[in-house]
């Protein structure tokens, strides 16, 4: 089995741009805690996203809406302490940036100062342009996020594929160009037709990272719990499971329970 040996140079937004120019794909995963972030960084991941999906996979909420800025800062600071190489991007949670560019700036500054993050991510296009522009004035790099934007789930009503119709696809293309013009260093495209994602990636210079957006983009992102098979009952078409940790963990824990109950653990070598 070949092991991917990462170069030790830190990943920067400039490096990501170079990767796009050279056609090198960008690998991104979510992380929310120190131990996992250390493993993912050590394995050579390019970007770690402290996603507001923490609301689902860490806290068990149905949507991403309940997670707070304080909770995002807690997760982000744990990840930052673990990372030596990856670029760490942190989601601005719902309610911390929409409709008020001053609040967007203050929220981003808290994330950079208190967690030590490298960049922030915001969901939306033209409607949050002012917030993005304001954050950029403080020298904070911004990643955009278009397509299925889970913070707007109550507007969409469903987690189904976005931008299948011409009008929404056209708005998405315009939004992507706008995010590039305003100064975003990269954009996530979530759950949109592969052809549309490829068109967007080819029409802008900044990297486009897809999740459920096909292979003709500049990189891919998955939620770590989903790709490691920890999440239960979530099997969208775009997800490839790289491990079955649910089985590995369940087997390990049931072996432990058996050993404790039968007094097999601890044995003489495992005591003082």
| Number of helices followed by number of strands (H, E) in the chain | 11, 8
Decide if 190 is catalytic. yes
Q: How far is CA 245 from CA 44, 77, 168, 238, in A?
A: 20, 25, 38, 19
Based on CB atoms, which residue is closest to ligand KIV, 105 or 224?
224
Whole-number Å distance between alpha carbons of 189 and 144? 9
Q: How far is the CB of 143 from ligand KIV (least distance, A)?
A: 9
Binding site for ligand KIV (CB under 6 A): 30, 49, 51-53, 91, 188, 190, 211, 221, 223
Of 210, 29, 74, the closest CA to residue 38 belongs to 29
Catalytic residue among 174, 190, 268, 270: 190
Beta bridge partners of 219: 26, 209
Q: How far is the CB of 61 from ligand KIV (least distance, A)?
A: 12
Q: How far is the CB of 27 from ligand KIV (least distance, A)?
A: 13
Based on CB atoms, which residue is closest to ligand KIV, 60 or 261?
60
Nearest-CB residue for ligand KIV: 51
Based on CB atoms, which residue is closest to ligand KIV, 140 or 223?
223
Based on CB atoms, which residue is closest to ligand KIV, 91 or 180?
91
Q: How far is the CB of 213 from ligand KIV (least distance, A)?
A: 10
Of 226, 180, 228, the closest CA to residue 203 belongs to 180
Query: For the chain, how big is the Rg over CA atoms in Å?
Result: 20
Give the active site residues.
190
């Amino acid at each position: 089995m070949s092991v991917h040996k990462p170069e030790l140079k830190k990943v920067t937004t400039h490096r990501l741009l170079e990767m796009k120019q050279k056609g090198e794909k960008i690998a991104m995963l979510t992380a929310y805690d120190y131990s996992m972030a250390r493993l993912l960084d050590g394995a050579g991941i390019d970007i770690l996203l402290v996603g507001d999906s923490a609301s689902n996979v860490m806290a068990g909420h149905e949507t991403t809406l309940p997670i707070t800025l304080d909770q995002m800062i807690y997760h982000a600071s744990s990840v930052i302490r673990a990372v030596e190489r990856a670029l760490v991007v942190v989601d601005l949670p719902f309610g911390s940036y929409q409709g008020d560019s001053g609040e967007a700036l203050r929220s981003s500054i808290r994330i950079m100062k208190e967690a030590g993050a490298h960049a922030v991510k915001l969901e939306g296009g033209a409607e949050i342009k002012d917030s993005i522009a304001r954050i950029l004035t403080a020298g904070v790099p911004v990643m955009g996020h278009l397509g299925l934007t889970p913070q707007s789930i109550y507007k969409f009503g469903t987690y189904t594929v976005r931008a299948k119709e011409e009008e929404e696809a056209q708005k998405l293309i315009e939004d992507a160009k706008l995010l590039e013009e305003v100064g975003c260093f990269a954009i996530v495209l979530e759950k949109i037709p592969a052809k549309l994602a490829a068109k967007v990636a080819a029409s802008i210079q900044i990297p486009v990272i897809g999740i459920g957006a096909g292979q003709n983009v500049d990189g891919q992102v998955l939620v770590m719990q989903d790709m490691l098979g920890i999440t239960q009952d979530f099997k969208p078409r775009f997800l490839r499971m790289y491990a079955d940790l649910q089985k590995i963990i369940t087997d390990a824990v049931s072996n432990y329970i058996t050993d404790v109950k039968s007094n097999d653990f601890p044995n003489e070598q495992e005591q003082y």
